[in-house]
Amino acid sequence: MIDFQLTSGEPYSARFREAGIDSFVQACEFVAQLPYGRNANREDFGLVLSEGKGTCSSKHALLASLALENGHPEVELIAGIFLMNEETHAKLNVFFTGKSYSNIPECHCYLRFQGERFDYTDTSNGLERIAPKIVREQRIDPNQVTDWKIMIHKHYLQGWLTRNPSFQLTLEELWKDREEAIEILSR
């Protein structure tokens, strides 16, 4: 990942410097150390810092915003859709039992720089497990991790269901299953 000093007077840069973090790579490493968890307001990426937690969306939107504040638009925020299964997430081994499908398309946010992917959701380097299962990638703006990311995800899920009528599921049922899988992974 590119490194640069956090010299901007913008809010995120100032907050990182107040925490003693003055470079982009340090900020990335700091965010990766924070626990996974949904924030009180999905649109306020600063909550990653004040609440001390975040999701793939909020953590990477914060980092992408930080890069933009410091004049580095080449650090891209990516919404990637991958086929989540027990191979990508061992905790889901029981989840798929009895289901009409053995994987579920999931949307994951990460950064990309010069064609290389970087995941600061946590320190497990889970991107290595999901990279072979990525079926779609789209660059998005940080403010798009709220509504737009969900729209992209649901649109892909609806197409997936259309291509697989034997699953006999509605989008709402599949989304409910997906939320159950995310809850399992959050534990």
CB 130 within 8 A of CB 73: no
Query: Would you write out the chain's pLDDT as a tens digit for each of its 187 residues?
Result: 999 999 999 999 999 999 999 999 999 999 999 998 889 998 999 999 999 999 999 999 999 999 999 999 999 999 999 999 999 999 999 999 999 999 999 999 999 999 999 999 998 878 999 999 999 999 999 999 988 999 999 999 999 999 999 999 999 999 999 999 988 987 7
Cα 33 to Cα 169: distance, rounded to the nearest angstrom: 37
The span from the CA of 160 to the CA of 20, in Å, is 45
* H or E segment to which residue 49 belongs: helix 47-51
Stated pTM of the model: 0.93
Nearest to 81 by CA among 164, 3, 159, 166: 159
Instruction: Give the residue among 107, 106, 88, 103 at the shortest CA–CA distance from 167.
Output: 103
